[in-house]
Structure 1
Amino acid sequence: MTYDLIKPLLFRLEAEKAHCLVEFSLRTLNILLPGALSFLAHRYIVNDESLKQNLLGLQFYNPIGLAGGFDKNATMIKPLSALGFGFLEFGTFTPKAQKGNEKPRLFRLSRQESLQNAMGFNNQGSDKITSRLSQIYPFVLPLGANIGKNALSEEALEDYLYLLRNFKDLCDYFTINISSPNTKNLRDLQNAEFLSTLLEEALKITSKPILIKIAPDMKIKYALELCENAINKGAKGFIIANTSTDYSLLDNQRTFGGISGKLITQKNGIFFEKLAKELFGKAILIASGGVDSAEIAYERIKKGANLVQIYTALVFKGPSLIKTINEKLSLLLKEDGFVNICEAVGADLK
């Protein structure tokens, strides 16, 4: 059954209920249908040498990864890997389990192929996720742990350090999420003092690469200062960028949560381009926000992205999107005379 047939049924459900149904289906797929993951892998995985890269000491089979937020509790890692991703990021999760914000908190903006969410780091907590990961790690794909603070915690630094200690042997890199708009005062942590202290302490705990996920609503000058300082303190890269709180993009009355999808394609693209001009070559750059085609992915790669993450586009276009992007990327590389994607990264900046 293709996604085009399933999508109308899913879209009859509230967005969060549809997501829970997809999660349940993926988790139970291999149990109910032995060999299903092998079938999916055969159908969706693109094995192309031109797309492979070695970054951060890790092998990426292609540059398309899953952004944090989709698999908050690391329950879908095996089935998601069969869909053809080059890397996966689980979370955002917190030290203690928490329910997140009040429902409804996830909304489809179908006409704009976008989402608006105010989830609030709902997750099962580090103990359950640790137990789950210990059964599958190390994994065939690079796994990123996207970590955040508990909503009611007044010790943000300790929350992040606790998760770094607990997961340093259960992931390949960390993403420090201080840019979600859905946890009160979280974006206030996007400051040099907090990040400096966090990174200094983090390097005493783990040698795993640490990436910082930033908000696209920051002023460019301030964002650059923050990133340059983070590099000096040991950060290995940046995810540019998280969801946006630019509610002028909306035609509804909801002025809360974060916007993702097509509505922020241009905004995040411009934000990425301006930061990449200064940061390219100094750190690993992952482009995120509004990527739903090979053309957009390739544009950001040529402007300095080593890797690209998607999420919202999956909701509207389905799992075949990953294969479609990777196959088209391979063709775009050949058209431009590149043997490997590494040659295309930052081509517009060289």
Structure 2
Amino acid sequence: MAYERFLRPVLFKTDPEWVHQATLRMLAMAGAWTPLRTILKRLYCVDDASLQVNLWGLTFPNPIGLAAGYDKDGRGMHGLACLGFGHLELGTVTPLPQDGNPRPRIFRLPEDQAVVNRMGFPNRGGEALRTRLQLGVPKGVILGINIGKGLETPLEGAAEDYLGLMEDFYPLADYLAVNVSSPNTVGLRRLQARDALDDLLHQLAGLRLKLQDKYRRDVPLIIKLAPDLNNDELKDAVEVILKWGIGGVIATNTTISRVGLRSRRSEEAGGLSGAPLKARATEIIRSIHKFTDGNLPIIGVGGVFDLADVREKMDAGASLVQIYTGLVYRGPGLVREILEGLRRRNA
């Protein structure tokens, strides 16, 4: 691909966060101009009914989505919707604006086809994203909103953050993803423990019933889990998720493991994404599928770089698959490449 041969070597000589922000600015400009949106759709979109996935009462145009973290504030969503995705997951958004962790906080690991980040949910806050969504959302894609606890919110007050965000975005989102698994907000992963998760989901499930009645629509709640849970911890979390009728899981978030890495920046603190995460994420998907007899929908994410990686996640039990770091290494044509491959297999 031209991106990998010519553009990536130039981009990889530049600060990762600057490149990311510049990309979002370009996507925002492209998304605001109809002729450019039309061109991007012709270049990158694959419109084929055989690729559709019906889940949670929603029709996803195709199974490939953009993982949370890429566009936290929805700045580039109209441009991103032209790159072939079947769904976009915006966020993670927190109740109040926050800067996140100090820079530098993104590190490329090219020898490992990976990225380490310790962003800490930098975003402009729930009100800013809500206002942007009210001005108009992309047509033709499913929109998820990933919600998280503020950096300054004590863990015992986390439920209030999630409840407030759920109430704010319930009428605007197609689904809501509850992020209790980022390694970059101190203590957040403790919310995955059985008792803490049970208390949180009890409250969220109760609010969801009230919001269903208020808005006359059913917006599924999805829980994003870490890849670093052991088998017993994972089983506990899944049992709690089933207990409260949660719609599904996203498997997985980034990992704190550094096993087998070669890159010199591999020991930077933060969550690791990319190729080294692939096997563990797939293992988690397979375990959840087995625990639930395939009755809990799974969005698979982690180390997806090509069609084979997508098929691996789906064969393990994922109904949908998300990408992020694969875009960094493979470029914007990756989604079309995968969809063309899926279409050929469906023919």
| Fold agreement, TM-score > 0.5 | yes
Q: Which residue of 2 aligns with 1:80?
A: 80
Aligned to 2:231: 220
Alpha-carbon spacing, 1:137–1:20, altered in 2? closer, same or farther (3 Å): closer
Q: Distance in 2 between matches of 1:315 and 1:138?
A: 23
Instruction: Show structure 1 runs of 5+ residues with no match.
Output: 335-350
Q: How does 1:306-321 map to 2 (within 5 A)?
A: 306-321=319-334
Deviation at 1:255, TM superposition (A): 4.7
| Amino acid in the other structure paired with 2:28 | R
1:179-214 deviation line (CA, Å, top 9, x unaligned): 000000000111222322322322324341000000
Give distance in 1, aligned partners of 2:196 and 2:170: 21
Structure 2 CA distance for aligned equivalents of residues 196 and 59 of structure 1: 30
2:287 — aligned with what?
Answer: 274
Instruction: Give the Cα–Cα distance (whole angstroms) in 2 for the partners of residues 309 and 229 of structure 1.
Output: 24
Displacement after TM superposition at 1:52 (Å) = 0.7
Match of 1:249 in 2: 260
Work out whether residues 256 and 271 of structure 2, in 8 Å CA contact, stay in contact via their aligned partners in 1.
yes
In structure 1, the partner of 2:214 is none
**Number of aligned positions between the proteins:** 333
Q: What corresponds to 1:289 in structure 2? A: 302
What CA distance in whole angstroms lies between the structure 2 residues aligned with 1:48 and 1:328? 12
Determine whether 1:331 maps to 2:326.
no
Q: Deviations over 1:215-251 (max 9, x none)?
A: 0010012102211211111211000111010022333
Provide Cα deviations, 1:98-126, integer angstroms capped at 9, x if missing partner: 10111111000112211000000011111
Within the alignment, does 1:93 sit opposite 2:93 as a pair?
A: yes
Amino acid across the alignment from 2:224? K
- Contact kept, 8 Å, 1:220 with 1:275, in 2: the verdict is no
Structure 2: where are the runs of 5+ without partners? 212-217
The answer to whether the Cα contact below 8 Å between 1:138 and 1:171 also exists between their aligned partners in 2 is no
Partner of residue 42, structure 2: 42
Indicate the residue corresponding to 1:65 in structure 2.
65
Instruction: Confirm whether residue 12 of structure 1 aligns to residue 25 of structure 2.
Output: no
* Cα distance in structure 1, aligned partners of 2:260 and 2:122: 26
Aligned to 2:184: 182
Share of identical aligned residues, percent? Answer: 38
C-alpha contact 1:115 1:312 (8 A) present in aligned 2: yes
Task: Report what 1:231 is aligned to.
Answer: 242
Q: 1:2 deviation in Å? A: 4.8
Partner of 1:347: none
Please tell me whether residue 148 in structure 1 is matched to residue 156 in structure 2: no
